[in-house]
Amino acid sequence: MASIIPRQNGTYLIRVSCGLDESGKQITRSKTFRPSKPNLSYQRLNREIDQFVADFEMEVKTGGKSVDFDKITFSQFCDKYLELKKTTLSPNTLVFYEMIIRTELRPMFGAMKMRDIRTYHVQQFIQYLATEKQRKDGVEGGIGPSTVRRYTTVLRSILTMAYKLDFIDEDVGNSRKIEFPKEQHTELEVYTLEEVSDILKALETEPINIRTLIEIAIFTGMRRGEIVGLKWNDIDLEGQKIHVRRSIYKPKNGKAQEKEPKSKYGIRTISIPEQLCQTIKAYKAQQDRHKSFLGDGWKNLNYVFTEEDGYVMNPHTPTKQFSKFLKRHGIRHLKFHGLRHTSATMLLANGCDIKTVSTRLGHSDIDTTNIYVHALESTDRHAAQTFESFISKAF
């Protein structure tokens, strides 16, 4: 990763790491960047710096040879893309991007020159995914529309970066001419008010750790990884608030680790009801007794939800615990994430404005929250049908 140091004369010192020497000392190369003209806009200046850094790093990698933009292939640019994205993508997302590049994009576009890629090729990739790519579950036909969009997002991100760094002259991946397969509208699965009542009653007979976990999901709408990532200093029982500051993920074959929420909007404060405060107090008392019993065997990492030794809980555990809870009490099965959907829908149904709900959920924009409005419309239709059934029986 290059370091960029501004100078008083308006130039910038760009320093690039070249690895370590035999004694383990960092080897660096430096070069001066001069903007094309003074008083550039912030956006234009950063674009020129990004291009200069990309050229310089490529020059260092190729032994001092200048970069021939007309000869850079898609596969070669992907190496640069992944290197730059390592600091901005979450670990799980980076693994997904690397997989798509390796299994889908390099085989199709790897040998192509970046300068030769057009919007047509993006559309060709979408068509291949939707009609020819084999599904992993053995079902005939292409993969689903939402998966097509996810895969294509990786290609479009690569092309957008290539455009910003002047490897291509047009952002062909961001063209409005691109058409995606139409997604079939699926009803959002949420619990009814009666089912939520059944869940809360059933929780009264459950161990306090199960009760606390599920109540937090219902009353806050937090994501599973955010709940598992809670630490005790994130919970303000006196002010009746929970501060969301991190999330937990588990890489394949690795231990659970922390990461920042999905976006800056994910860092937020959520007000909680008195009932949840009382549940959390009871859970804290039980955890303190357990810590005292384990003594030095307890890892004092301050997490709310933990393994037996105090290490942060596996983020997949809530899903398993919730499924077993539903089965024990004969309640309709939904995924753990369904509690997040249910929380949002209940708030909207009871008069909470959509902006507040969007903020509680950590959405970056209200459009994302609008999916719950559709769920409300479905609930409203069900209510009308209930009245019709009542009237037909009465008369």
3-state class (DSSP) for residue 198:
helix
Q: What is the mean pLDDT of residues 32-56?
A: 82
Q: What whole-number distance in Å separates Cα of residue 203 and Cα of residue 329? A: 9
Burial of 319 (0-12, 13-18, 19+ CB in 10 A): middle
pLDDT for the residue numbered 343: 92
Rounded (to 5) percent helix, strand, coil in the chain:
55, 10, 35
pLDDT for the residue numbered 275: 94
| Residues 142 and 208 both lie in one domain | no
pLDDT of 376 over the 90 cut: no
337 in a domain, yes or no?
A: yes
Q: What is the mean pLDDT of residues 236-249?
A: 94
| Residues 135 and 201 both lie in one domain | no
CA of 61: how far to CAs of 16, 32, 323, 388, in Å? 10, 18, 51, 73
pLDDT for the residue numbered 93: 87
Asked if residue 271 lies in contact with residue 359, where contact means CB atoms within 8 angstroms, the answer is no
Q: What is the mean pLDDT of residues 1-24?
A: 80
pLDDT for the residue numbered 379: 54
pLDDT for the residue numbered 393: 55
Q: When comparing pLDDT for 66 and 106, which is higher?
A: 106
Domain boundary among 140, 174, 208: 174
* CATH number, residue 369: 1.10.443.10
pLDDT digits (tens, 9 = 90+) for 175-216: 788 888 887 666 678 898 899 999 999 999 999 999 999 999
130 in a domain, yes or no?
A: yes
| Residues 108 and 204 both lie in one domain | no
Asked if residue 241 lies in contact with residue 280, where contact means CB atoms within 8 angstroms, the answer is no
pLDDT of 67 over the 80 cut: no
pLDDT for the residue numbered 22: 67
- CA atoms within a 13 Å half-sphere pointing along the CA-CB vector of 192: 10
pLDDT digits (tens, 9 = 90+) for 72-106: 899 999 998 998 888 778 788 888 999 999 999 99
| Residues 78 and 169 both lie in one domain | yes
| Residues 213 and 351 both lie in one domain | yes
pLDDT level of residue 163 (50, 70, 90 thresholds): confident
CA-atom Rg of the chain in angstroms: 26
pLDDT for the residue numbered 109: 94
pLDDT for the residue numbered 65: 52
Q: What is the mean pLDDT of residues 39-47?
A: 81
209 in a domain, yes or no?
A: yes
Task: Tell me what the pLDDT averaged over the chain comes to.
Answer: 85
35 in a domain, yes or no?
A: no
pLDDT level of residue 251 (50, 70, 90 thresholds): confident
Q: What whole-number distance in Å separates Cα of residue 166 and Cα of residue 48? A: 9
pLDDT of 265 over the 60 cut: yes
| Residues 150 and 217 both lie in one domain | no
Q: What is the mean pLDDT of residues 110-119?
A: 93
| Residues 156 and 128 both lie in one domain | yes
Q: When comparing pLDDT for 166 and 323, which is higher?
A: 323
Measured in residues, the chain has a length of 395
pLDDT of 395 over the 50 cut: no
| Residues 324 and 367 both lie in one domain | yes
282 in a domain, yes or no?
A: yes
376 in a domain, yes or no?
A: yes
| Residues 216 and 364 both lie in one domain | yes
Which DSSP string do the residues of 133-171 spell out, in sequence order? SPPTT--SS---HHHHHHHHHHHHHHHHHHHHTTSSSS-
pLDDT for the residue numbered 271: 95
Could you tell me which residues are beta bridge partners of residue 25? none
Q: Which of 54-58, 302-306, 345-349 has the lowest mean pLDDT?
A: 54-58
| Residues 331 and 378 both lie in one domain | yes
Domain boundary among 116, 147, 174: 174
Residue ranges making up the domain that contains 77: 68-174
Q: When comparing pLDDT for 385 and 180, which is higher?
A: 180
Domain count along the chain: 2
300 in a domain, yes or no?
A: yes
Q: What is the mean pLDDT of residues 47-65?
A: 73
Which DSSP string do the residues of 161-191 spell out, in sequence order? HHHHTTSSSS-GGG-TT---PPPPP-PPP--
| Residues 208 and 342 both lie in one domain | yes
pLDDT for the residue numbered 325: 97
pLDDT level of residue 260 (50, 70, 90 thresholds): confident
59 in a domain, yes or no?
A: no
* CATH number, residue 104: 1.10.150.130
pLDDT of 387 over the 60 cut: no
| Residues 203 and 291 both lie in one domain | yes
Name the residue among 347, 319, 326 with its Cα closest to residue 250.
Answer: 319
